[in-house]
Amino acid sequence: MSLKQQIRFRACEFMASLTKLKAEIKNEEAFRHALADLHKSYVRFMVLATKTNALEKEKMHEQQVVDCINGITRYSIGRFEFLCSEVFGVISVSMGDCSVDRHVLCMTRKVPIEQQVRVVADLMAMYIDYESLPCDICAEYAIMPGFDTPLQRIAQEDFVLSCHSQCMMPCMNKTK
C-alpha cells in the first residue's frame, strides 16, 4: 500500500472518530472514551502525515568512504559506520543498537560480496532516526512491558513502514 493510501485510510479513521463526537453522549465515561479514540486516531494520522519528512531525510544521507587500510574500507552513512573487506565483504556494522547491527549483518550474509556495500547502505538508510521514529501502526514508540522499540521495517510501494514486531502480525493479518 502506498503512503498516500495509508494517509487517506488514517484520515478516514480520524474523521470517523470526529463523527462519534456528534452522536449523543449520555455519560462522562462515553465522552472520555470518544475523546481518547479521537486523540489516538489523530496521533496515528499525524505519524503517517509527517512520514514524508522522514523520506527526505533518508535521501539526504549518502554513503561516504572514510578511509581504506589494508583492503578494509570504512564507510559512513550519517552517524552509522560499517567495515567492508575486499575478500570477506561486510565484516562490521555500527548503528548504536546490537539487535539492529545483528539484523543488518544477517541480511548481508545472504548477498554476494559485490553487492553487500549497496545492501548495507540501503538498510542503514531505512534505519535513520530509528531512536525517535514511532511505530506507523500504533503510533507509539515503546511498548510496555518489554520496552520494545519499532525496529521492524517493511518496504511498501513508496515508503518504508516502521513498526514493532508485536504490531506487525496484526497488521499482516488485516491485509490478507
Q: Determine the pLDDT at residue 52.
A: 64
Domain termination residue (choose one: 89, 111, 126): 126
**Are 115 and 156 members of one domain?**
no
**Are 137 and 165 members of one domain?**
yes
**Are 76 and 105 members of one domain?**
yes
Domain termination residue (choose one: 92, 107, 126): 126
**Are 46 and 72 members of one domain?**
no
Closest to 118 (Cα-Cα) out of 71, 75, 66, 54: 75
**Are 87 and 113 members of one domain?**
yes
Helix (H) or strand (E) holding 93: strand 89-94
CA angle (84 as vertex; 83, 86 as ends), nearest 5: 150
**Are 11 and 91 members of one domain?**
no
**Are 116 and 148 members of one domain?**
no
- Dihedral over alpha carbons 8, 11, 17, 19 (to 10 degrees): -90
Q: Determine the pLDDT at residue 39.
A: 92
**Are 84 and 111 members of one domain?**
yes
**Number of domains the chain contains:** 2
CA atoms within 13 A on the CB side of 45: 17
Q: pTM of the entire structure?
A: 0.62
Residues with Cβ within 8 Å of 71's Cβ and at least 6 positions away in sequence, in order, are 85, 86, 87
Distance CA 73, CA 130 (A): 25
Tell me which residue range forms the domain holding 151.
3-57+129-175
Q: Determine the pLDDT at residue 176.
A: 42
Q: Determine the pLDDT at residue 143.
A: 67
**Are 33 and 69 members of one domain?**
no
Positions of the chain with pLDDT under 70: 52-63, 143-147, 169-176
* Grid cell digits, residue 32: 472520555
**Are 45 and 81 members of one domain?**
no
**Are 49 and 98 members of one domain?**
no
Distance CA 150, CA 160 (A): 12
Closest to 17 (Cα-Cα) out of 51, 40, 48, 1: 40
Q: Determine the pLDDT at residue 12.
A: 92
**Are 107 and 136 members of one domain?**
no
CB 147 within 8 A of CB 120: no
Q: Determine the pLDDT at residue 147.
A: 60
